[in-house]
Amino acid sequence: MNKDNPGTPLLEVKELEFSYGEVKVLHGLDFQINKKTIACVMGRNGVGKTTLMRNLVGLEKPSAGSIFFKGKEITNTEGYSRASSGFGYVPQGRQIFPLLTVEENLSVALSAAGIDQQTIPTSVYDTFPVLYDMRKRRGGDLSGGQQQQLAIGRALSTRPEVLILDEPTEGIQPNIITMIGEVIRRLVEENDMTILLVEQYVDFVKEYADEFLVMNRGLFVSKGTVDQLDTLTINKHLSI
Ligand SMILES: Nc1ncnc2c1ncn2[C@@H]1O[C@H](COP(=O)(O)OP(=O)(O)O)[C@@H](O)[C@H]1O
Ligand SMILES: [Mg+2]
């Protein structure tokens, strides 16, 4: 539920389709996420998870179907306008700028979203103190776990209402994985944020998410609350 339109999902997708050229990758996806929920998209490599996230944040345009944010259709709006209107995105593989400093990486996100106020919110450094300690260092000098914190910090710098993270635990050490899980839970509980996560690590989903969506070949084949995530579904659709 959100305060603007009680009863309206924060994010809603209807019959979403997408093709790369002639190759159809998303075959008609439907889902909704309510405010203050952590939903997780799971599925094997190549099924279309990243393509879905890129459509949601406006980096790709659907070939059919629609996307609604707080009840308003945004299907054809540009990526920068979604960033300034409440979407935060942590892409797969982090994609930080290796030659820019940590501080510059964070400011770039504010400019890209067209936000005039160029000050990095202190909450970003409060959430990830290592980014403050390393603010003058180049992004490329950070460890993988620190780069992931930078990628999440960068997405948080625009104070999003919905945060989309694509495989944030990929190639990350267990202690940082735990930290990321705790951070996202806190963002939901303390900042009323809504989170959509792509994640293949089942234990992480069970520990931190509320709802799951399993994707196979561009379709959702199973959905539910995480307590309904059973071994049969996991073995059938996830690479274990
Ligand atoms: N830029 C692209 N051009 C053409 N095909 C692509 C492109 N990106 C991904 N694909 C293809 O689309 C399918 C879905 O990819 P992707 O969304 O990255 O899957 P996932 O994130 O689930 O691993 C795959 O078959 C992949 O090869
Ligand atoms: Mg992917």
| Residue 16 DSSP SS3 | strand
What pLDDT band is residue 6 in, cutting at 50, 70 and 90? Answer: low
pLDDT at position 1? 46
pLDDT at position 231? 82
Rounded-to-integer distance, Cα 133 and Cα 39, Å: 32
Average pLDDT over residues 67-86: 93
pLDDT digits (tens, 9 = 90+) for 206-235: 999 999 999 999 999 999 999 999 887 888
- Of 106-110, 130-134, 135-139, the range with the lowest mean pLDDT is 106-110
**Ligand 1 atom 18: residue of nearest CA:** 50
Question: Other C-beta atoms within 10 Å of 142: how many?
Answer: 21
Is the Cβ atom of 47 under 6 angstroms away from ligand 1? yes
- Of 70-79, 80-89, 106-115, 210-219, the range with the lowest mean pLDDT is 106-115
| Residue-averaged pLDDT of the chain | 93
pLDDT at position 235? 82
pLDDT at residue 236 is higher than 90: no
pTM of the model: 0.94
Structural contact between residues 148 and 168, judged by C-beta atoms closer than 8 angstroms: yes
Ligand 1, closest atom to CA 52? 17
pLDDT digits (tens, 9 = 90+) for 31-51: 999 999 999 999 999 999 999
Is the Cβ atom of 76 under 6 angstroms away from ligand 1? no
pLDDT at position 2? 46
pLDDT at residue 203 is higher than 60: yes
The burial of 32, by beta-carbon neighbours within 10 Å (0-12 exposed, 13-18 middle, 19 or more buried), is given as middle
Name the E strands within 140-179: 162-166
What pLDDT band is residue 240 in, cutting at 50, 70 and 90? Answer: low
Closest ligand to C-alpha of residue 91 is 2
Residues with CB under 5 A from ligand 2 (ion): 49-50, 92
pLDDT at position 209? 97
Average pLDDT over residues 130-157: 96
Ligand 1, closest atom to CA 218? 14
pLDDT digits (tens, 9 = 90+) for 172-199: 999 999 999 999 999 999 999 999 999 9
pLDDT at position 119? 85
Rounded-to-integer distance, Cα 47 and Cα 42, Å: 9
Ligand 1, closest atom to CA 92? 21
Q: What CATH number was assigned to the domain covering residues 92-192?
A: 3.40.50.300
Counting ligand 1 atoms within 8 A of each CB, the residue from 29, 44, 51, 170 with the most, and so the one to mutate, is 51
Structural contact between residues 19 and 176, judged by C-beta atoms closer than 8 angstroms: no
Rounded-to-integer distance, Cα 127 and Cα 20, Å: 37
**Ligand 1 atom 2: residue of nearest CA:** 20
Is the Cβ atom of 142 under 6 angstroms away from ligand 1? no
Tokens linked to 217:
């070949």
- Of 97-111, 129-143, 150-164, 225-239, the range with the lowest mean pLDDT is 225-239
For residue 219, the CA-to-ligand 1 centroid distance in Å is: 14
Is the Cβ atom of 48 under 6 angstroms away from ligand 1? yes
Average pLDDT over residues 10-26: 97
Is the Cβ atom of 54 under 6 angstroms away from ligand 1? no
pLDDT over 70 percentage in the chain: 96
